[in-house]
Amino acid sequence: MAGWYALVVVALMLAGFALARGRAQSVAGGNYAGMHSLPSYHGLYTASLAFIPALITFLVGSQIAGYLATQSALSALPNDIQSDILRQGAALREAVNIVRGGPVGAASAEVQSAAVNYASALSAGQWITLAVGVLAGLAGLSWGLSRVSMNFRARNAFEKLVHALLWICATIAVLTTVGIVFSVVGETYRFFFDPAIKGKPTVFEFLFGTEWNPQAAMRADQGDIQTAYGFLPLLTGTLLITVIAIAVAGPLGLFSAIYLAEYASPGVRAVAKPILEILAGIPTVVLGFFAALTVAPYIRGWGETFGLNVASESALAAGVVMGMMIIPFISSLSDDVINAVPQSLRDGSYAMGATKSETIRQVVLPAALPGIVSAFMLAISRAIGETMIVVMAAGLAANLTFNPLDAVTTITVQIKTILVGDQEFDSAKTLAAFALGFVLFFVTLVLNFIALKVVQKYREQYD
Amino acid sequence: MDMRPDPLIMMTTPAQAPTTTPTKVAANNVNVYYGAKHALKDVSVDIPEKSVTAFIGPSGCGKSTFLRCINRMNDTVASCRVEGLIQIDGKDIYDPALDPVQLRARVGMVFQKPNPFPKSIYDNVAYGPRIHGLSRSKAELDQIVESSLRKASLWEEVKDRLNDSGTGLSGGQQQRLCIARTIAINPEIILMDEPCSALDPIATARIEELMEELRHNFTIIIVTHSMQQAARVSQRTAFFHLGILVETGSTSDIFTNPTDKRTQDYITGRFG
């Protein structure tokens, strides 16, 4: 039905375009210079006027048709099913499955008649929607046609419609973000304050607790493992790995950017830059087993020669490989901003008798600082949000430690661990993932805010 | 305030008539190529010390190219090749034993578009002295910054906001800041590449007055599109056309009594 609807609407739009343009051409009689808008603008405007009411009718009509079909299916069901929410839902799903030809068991007579009701109501609703949509589209079309004249400003009117379209797209993007935030905030609120959830921590215990163990003892023989939701070990683990990653990627990325932008010949640059960017395209799961199978044993062996006790899954291994992952973010973006520093500033410095490295250190890098800071912030956000490398290389043990040779875990890894497998969404353990997600979101938001402020402070220092 | 004698003032000598001053820069059969393009053809000229020499000529005639040979800024252009002999005080500046970085400390340059660094006014002027280690103490650096800004006649306008960004000044002030920055390292020669072309007439007049003062201490070479400016500020003028140095002489001779037909056509506005 939706396919037919789309076909009819497209036909309406094409007809509207052709009719309005034809009428505009005949109104102008060849005198296009005396006309406010060219005929094709009249065509576009009329086509839009046909499209908009048809689209609105479809969106509203399909919702109403669905609702009415459900109601009519319900009326066929006996009273005892109607009053029980769970059984009602099951019966409705069964009826819809019958209509769609899906897998059905031996359905009762009531469900069969509900399915018949549902199918006929839905079909009627859809036909009515189609008819109303075509009428609305025709109405828009004829109104558009009636406005075609020498002086009608179709060009400006169409501009307004484009403006509205762009506004709607931007609004959808913003609303999506808002929706995600609200869903996370809602579940986080339930985690902390819903009295129906058992074994949940207070906000204070969550933020300042030093032990993380969401998995309660299931059976008596598992010992007396206490459930604990202390968030601190995850925070320190996340920070530790992020700091190691930045310590690796910061110097490597920035220095390779300086080399590429200032010293490399065009030939070297043309080869080296794409190769660096390929590094950004390696799936993190591949980097993860590189970390777990190559880097971690190497670090362990290296530590043993110094008599150090290195965990086979260590923060250092995960951090180093994560550093590798974010090098391209830093090097590629920094390279772009360094290239954007005007040549006149470099010339000014060379003309003062400065060497190349003095010029880079004292003129180019300070001028490129805002862009370099935002490159670092993007890289840090990536490192904080990264999951797979840590899962594979740093383990799951929530140790409260700053020793990079120990196993640690991060916020994202715990979210993933909690939500893997079959879950019920009314236990403290599952909801804890939303609280973690909220904290993670908050941390990256603060980082982005800081980056924005830094960039604003130093922006437009050169023109 | 510290009243020690200023190193710049100490080297002041009384202004002499341009024709009797010794030669500072001497060029012999200089040819410049950008890739296959022959941009400058057999240029030979002597530029006298402590005076203003103007290079004039239509766009693309090679005058800026020649200017950038004198401090070897053309080295930063990969496709550029310079042949011939350019000497400063009798020494070949393209001698492989000579470090172009040190040469540029002796030959300052002011560009067409003001290009202050995105730093404070103070740091802009202190940039060169810091790089070259010209001061032993903060007080001495302050002294250099102040005297350079005074010589660029910018001190009175900026003395209360030395920590503001140099890019926040007006165009004319920015250009004087660039001049102050250049004279802070006490060069022997200052090259000016159309220093007033981005400025309004009032700012231009101030820069021209400044050149008149500076020529007592520095050898100034200016590239300009304005023949009035060349006539006002320079003692000697060289006319370039299509990569050839057509004529050179005292400014009054070039403008009142040119020997070459092309020079005459250009200064009377028949082409260019």
Question: Cβ distance A389 to A321 under 8 Å?
Answer: yes
In a domain, A290, yes or no: yes
Rounded mean pLDDT, A298-315: 83
Structural tokens at position B128: 């060169």
A160 pLDDT band (50/70/90 cuts)? very high
In a domain, A19, yes or no: yes
Does the CA dihedral A207-A241-A300-A294 come out positive or negative?
A: positive
pLDDT reported for residue B270:
75
pLDDT reported for residue B271:
66
pLDDT reported for residue B14:
42
Are residues A157 and A279 both part of a single domain?
no
Mutation target for A interface from B74, B115, B174: give the one with most A CBs within 10 A.
Answer: B115
Beta B91-92 vs B107-110: how paired, if at all?
A: unpaired
**β-sheet bridge partners, residue B34:** B37, B80
Going from the C-alpha of B153 to that of each of B113, B163, B173, B177, B214, the distances in angstroms are 19, 18, 9, 9, 11
Mean pLDDT in chain A?
85
Please give the Cα distance from B168 to A461 (Å, whole number): 8
List helix spans (H) across chain B. 7-10, 63-70, 100-106, 121-132, 138-151, 155-158, 171-183, 201-214, 227-233, 251-256, 261-267
Contacts (Cβ under 8 Å, ≥6 apart) of A348: A363, B111, B115, B116, B117, B178, B181
Place of tokens 């000014």: A348
pLDDT reported for residue A136:
93
Q: Which residues of B touch A (CB under 8 A)?
A: 71, 73, 76, 101-106, 108-109, 111, 113, 115-119, 127-128, 131-132, 165, 167, 178, 181-182, 185
Name which of A131-140, A196-205, B183-192 the model is least confident about.
A196-205
pLDDT reported for residue B126:
94
Contact B73 A367 (CB under 8 A): no
Domain ends where: A126, A145, A165? A165
In a domain, A216, yes or no: no
In a domain, A150, yes or no: yes
Going from the C-alpha of A74 to that of each of A105, A108, A109, A112, the distances in angstroms are 19, 14, 13, 12
In a domain, A180, yes or no: no
In a domain, A205, yes or no: no
Nearest to A345 among B104, B117, B165 (CB): B117
pLDDT tens column, A164-195: 999 999 999 999 999 999 988 988 888 888 87
Are residues A288 and A400 both part of a single domain?
yes
Question: Cβ distance B121 to B146 under 8 Å?
Answer: no
pLDDT reported for residue A106:
67
Q: For residue B99, list chain A residues with Cβ-Cβ distance below 8 A.
A: none
Q: Look at chain A and report how many structural domains it folds into.
A: 2
pLDDT reported for residue A458:
66
Question: Cβ distance B70 to B189 under 8 Å?
Answer: yes
Question: Cβ distance A330 to A253 under 8 Å?
Answer: yes
List helix spans (H) across B11-152. 63-70, 100-106, 121-132, 138-151
Are residues A142 and A259 both part of a single domain?
no
Q: For every residue of B184-227, which 3-state class applies, written as one string? A: CCCCCEEEEECCCCCCCHHHHHHHHHHHHHHCCCCEEEEECCCH
Domain ends where: A116, A141, A165? A165
Are residues A335 and A437 both part of a single domain?
yes
In chain A, the residue whose alpha carbon lies closest to the alpha carbon of B166 is A461
Name which of A65-74, A356-365, A385-394 the model is least confident about.
A385-394
Are residues A279 and A139 both part of a single domain?
no
In chain B, the residue whose alpha carbon lies closest to the alpha carbon of A363 is B117
Q: 3-state class of B91 per DSSP?
A: strand
pLDDT reported for residue A105:
64
- Concatenating the DSSP letter of every residue in A272-284 gives HHHHHHHHHHS-H
Residues comprising chain B, all counted:
272
pLDDT tens column, A381-424: 888 888 888 888 877 777 888 888 888 888 888 888 888 876 66
In a domain, A181, yes or no: no
**β-sheet bridge partners, residue B81:** B33
| C-alpha atoms less than 13 angstroms from C-alpha of A11 in its C-beta half-sphere | 9
Contact B111 A351 (CB under 8 A): yes
What's the ipTM? 0.86
Are residues A409 and A278 both part of a single domain?
yes
Please give the Cα distance from A434 to A187 (Å, whole number): 6
Picking from B227, B207, B208, the residue whose alpha carbon sits closest to that of residue B267 is B227
Contacts (Cβ under 8 Å, ≥6 apart) of A44: A17, A154, A158
In chain A, the residue whose alpha carbon lies closest to the alpha carbon of B184 is A352
Domain that holds residue A432: 231-458
Going from the C-alpha of A14 to that of each of A10, A55, A140, A146, B206, the distances in angstroms are 6, 15, 13, 17, 67
Contact A342 B115 (CB under 8 A): yes
Q: For residue B118, list chain A residues with Cβ-Cβ distance below 8 A.
A: 345, 366-367, 461-462
Are residues A143 and A289 both part of a single domain?
no
- Min Cα distance A362 → chain B (Å) is 9
pLDDT reported for residue A460:
52
Mutation target for B interface from A269, A344, A352: give the one with most B CBs within 10 A.
Answer: A352
Are residues A382 and A274 both part of a single domain?
yes
Q: 3-state class of A48 per DSSP?
A: helix
- Concatenating the DSSP letter of every residue in A398-431 gives ------TTS----HHHHHHHHHSSS--TTSHHHH
pLDDT reported for residue B12:
41
Are residues A156 and A256 both part of a single domain?
no
Picking from A37, A4, A35, A294, the residue whose alpha carbon sits closest to that of residue A131 is A4
Residue A217 has pLDDT above 50, yes or no: no
- Min Cα distance A373 → chain B (Å) is 16
Are residues A141 and A267 both part of a single domain?
no
Question: Quick one: what percent of chain A has pLDDT higher than 70?
Answer: 94
In chain A, the residue whose alpha carbon lies closest to the alpha carbon of B118 is A461
- The one-letter amino acid at A201: P
Domain ends where: A133, A165, A197? A165
Q: What is chain B's pLDDT, residue by residue, as a tens digit (272 residues)?
A: 445 544 444 444 444 444 567 888 999 999 999 988 898 899 999 999 999 999 998 888 888 999 999 999 988 888 888 998 999 998 899 988 889 888 999 999 999 999 999 889 999 999 999 999 888 899 999 999 999 999 888 999 999 999 988 888 998 899 999 999 999 999 999 999 999 888 888 888 988 998 998 899 899 999 998 888 999 999 999 999 888 999 999 999 888 888 888 888 888 887 65
B191 φψ region: left (φ > 0), alpha (ψ -120 to 50), beta (else): beta
Task: Give backbone dihedrals phi and psi of B244, rounded to 5 degrees, phi first.
Answer: -115, 140
pLDDT reported for residue A102:
66
Are residues A317 and A419 both part of a single domain?
yes
Are residues A56 and A132 both part of a single domain?
yes
In a domain, A175, yes or no: no
